[in-house]
Structure 1
Amino acid sequence: MRGVIVPLVTPFNEDYSIDVSALEEHVEYLQEAGVHGIFINATTGEFTSLSHEERKFLAEKGRELVTSAFYLVGTASPNTLEVIELTRHAQDIGADCAVIAPPYYCPLREEALFKHYSMIAEKTEIPIILYNIPSCASPLSVQLIKRLALEYSSIAGVKETIDSVNHVRDVILEVRGERKDFKVFTGLDQHFLSTLTLGGDGGIMACANFAPEIHLAVWRAFQEKRFEEALEGARKLAKLSKVYDLASSFGSAIKLAMSVRGFSIKPVLRPPYVADGEEVREKIRGLLKEVLG
C-alpha cells in the first residue's frame, strides 16, 4: 500500500442525512482518477459526527464501492472497547486496514496509549495504521510508534498529520530502520514530496478529494525521477494547502473547495460544525483559480 490515499468526505443532505448518491459518485470519480487508496470514516469524513450505526453503514457501503483501490476504514473512538468492535467490523467486511487515531478528549500518558493499541492489536487481525494527529488527540511519540511496531506485526504503519519534518524523518529512520515493511504516510498535502524524499510511502491527504490530479502528478513524477515536475507539483500543493487557513474548519474548507470545483457534494457539515459563507467561498475560489487555473 503506497501512493495517494484520499480521506473521504462524508456527503450530507440539507437535513444532515447521508447523501448516498453523492458518495457513490465521488468514490467512482476518485477511482477513475487513479488514486491508490480510499479511506472512509476519516477525520475529513467528520467521523465524530456520525453514529455508531452510520459508521458501520459507511464502512460497508465503501467496501461495496471501492473496487480498484486499497480500502481503509477509520475506527477511532475514545472508548477502547468500541474501537475493538469497529475494527473487528472493518476486518469482517474485508477492509484492507483500519486507521486508528488515539483516544481524544482526555490527554493520556504513553503507557495508556500503549495499552489501548495493544488491546486492539491482540483482539483483531486486520492490519492497523496508527494515526498521529496531535492537534486533535494525544500525540504518538517516535518511541511509542517504534515500540508498537516492533511488538505487533499487525501494526503496519502510521499516518503522520504533524507539521514536523523531523518527526517524520525520525519515524522513517528509527522505525523503518528495524522493521522494513512499516509504512509511513503524511497526512498533510504540503509535506507529500518531503515525505517521499525521506523514504516515506505516500500521503493520506484531504485536498485529494477535489484535486487528486495534482497529488498523482507529484507521485508519478517522483517515481519516474522527473524531479523538476515533482517540485512543480509540490509547490502547487503547498499553495493549495492554504485552503485550510481560509475556512473555520478543515471540513468547511474541503467541502467549499469541492463546491467551487463543481462536485455534487453539498457544502453541508453536521453540527456543531458549520460551513463558512460566501466571503470564504470567494477566497477559496480565488486560491483554486490561482493554483489550478
Structure 2
Amino acid sequence: MKGIIAATYAPMNQDGLLNTDIIEDYGNFLVANKVSGAFVNGSTGDFTALSSMERKELIAAWSEQRSEGLFLINHVGHNNLNEAVELAGHSADMVDATAALPPFYFRPKTLDDLVFYCKQIAQAAPNIPFYYYHIPILTRVSLPMLGFIEKAHDEIPNFAGIKYTEDNLSDFKQCVDKVDGSLDMFFGIDEKYMDSIQMDAQGWVGSTYNHLAPLYHEVASLANQDLWEAAGKLQAKGIHFVQVLEALGGYHGGGKSFMRYFGLDMGPSRFPHKTFNDSLLRQAIQSFEKEGLSDYLAKPFYGDSVA
C-alpha cells in the first residue's frame, strides 16, 4: 500500500449523533483529490469519544458506501481487549485491513505483552492485513519498534506493518530498512512529510490529507526532482495550516470544522475538542490566503463552502 491515506473524521449531525449519510460524498471527495485510502475510527475520528456501537455503525457505512479504489483501514484499538477483538471481527469482511493502537490506561510493559494484545486482535480478522498503530505521544507506550517488528512478524501471520506516528525519523528509517519493502511503514506526522520522503517512506496516514492533498502531491513531485528547497517551502505552508487552526482554538476541532470549506459539513466535535464557528473559519481562511495556501487546498466536491 503506497500513497497518502486520510485519517477521517467522524461526521455528525448538529445533535451530536453520527451522520453516515455523508460518507459516500466524503469518500468521493478523497478519491477526487487523489487520496489512496481512508483510516477510519482513529484519533482524528474521535474514536475515544465514540461507543463501540458507533464505531461499528461508522465502519459499516464506509464499507457500504465505499468509493471505488479507496483502501479502507478500520482502527479497532481499545483499552478493553475483548472490545477490540469484537470490533476487528465485526469489520473483517468489510475492510481491507485493521489497525490497533495499544491500551493506554493500564499499558503493556513489554514487547511480549504488546505482541499478545495485537495477536488476539489480528486473529479476529485473519484474512486481512493487521497494522500496529504506534503513537507514543498519546498512548505513552514507547516500546522499541525494531524489536516489535521481529516478534510480530514471527507470531502474527497477517502482520502487515506499522502506522508510525512518532517524531523519530532515525528510528523510522531503521524500521524501513529492516522490513526492506516486505511490510508497510506508514509515516504519521504530516508536518514531517518531506523529511519522511528522505527516509524512504512510501505510505502516509494523516489528518491534513483531508485538506491539503494537492500540496503533498506537489511536495512529493518536487522531492522526486531533487528540488528540496521548493519542497520545503510548500511543507512550511502545510505546517502553517496546522498552526493557524491550533492557535484559533485547537487543530483537531478546527480541522474537522474546516471540512465545511470543501462543502462537507462534518458537524460538531465531541468534548474536549472545539467546534469552530463561521467567524473562526473565516479568520483561518484569511490567514491561509495570505500564506498562499489557497492553490493547494483540496478541490471541493459539492455544495456551498464557508469561503
Q: Which category of TM-score, normalised to the shorter sequence, fits these structures?
A: 0.7 to 0.9
Gap runs ≥5 in structure 1: none
Identity in percent: 22
Distance across 1 between alignment mates of 2:163 and 2:245: 19
Residues 122-144 of structure 1: per-residue CA shift (max 9 Å, x gap): 44312111111112212342234
- 1:150 aligns to what? 153
Residues 1:256 and 2:260 are matched in the alignment: no
Match of 1:96 in 2: 96
Q: Deviations over 1:173-225 (max 9, x none)?
A: 3x325xx3111111111111222221122211101112221122233444x53
Structure 1 segments, 4+ long, off by >6 Å, are none
Equivalent position SS for 1:237:
helix
Aligned to 2:298: none
CA distance in 1, matches of 2:78, 2:248: 26
Change (3 A) 1:273 1:190: closer
State yes or no: 1:172 paired with 2:173: no
* 1:232-271 alignment runs, 5 A limit: 232-243=233-244, 245-246=246-247, 248-259=249-260, 261-271=261-271
How far apart, CA to CA, are the structure 1 residues paired with 2:245 and 2:85?
32
Alpha-carbon distance in structure 2 between the residues aligned to 1:161 and 1:244 = 20
What does residue 162 of structure 1 align with? 166
Counterparts of 1:43-58 in structure 2 under 5 Å? 43-58=43-58
Q: 1:244 to 1:75 in 2, by over 3 A?
A: farther
Residue in 2 that maps onto 1:129: 131
Report deviation, 1:87: 1.2
Kept after mapping to 2: 8 A contact 1:41/1:47: yes
- The residue aligned with 1:25 is 25
Considering only aligned residues, what root-mean-square deviation do their CA atoms show, in Å? Answer: 2.4
Q: What is the CA-CA distance between 1:226 and the residue it aligns to?
A: 5.7
Matching of residues 150-229 of structure 1 within 5 Å = 150-151=153-154, 152-173=156-177, 175-177=178-180, 180-222=181-223, 224-225=224-225, 227-228=227-228
Count of paired positions:
287
C-alpha contact (below 8 Å) 2:133/2:164 kept by paired residues: yes
Give 3-state SS (helix, strand or coil) of 2:255's partner.
helix
Partner residue of 1:76?
A: 77
TM-score by length of structure 2 reads 0.83
* Maintained 8 Å contact 2:86/2:124: no
TM-score by length of 1: 0.87
What is the CA–CA distance in structure 2 between the aligned matches of 1:123 and 1:208, rounded to whole Å?
29
Mapped partners of 2:292, 2:142: distance in 1: 32
* Greater Cα offset, 11-20 or 240-249: 240-249
CA distance in 1, matches of 2:148, 2:288: 36
Segment drifting more, 31-40 vs 264-273: 264-273
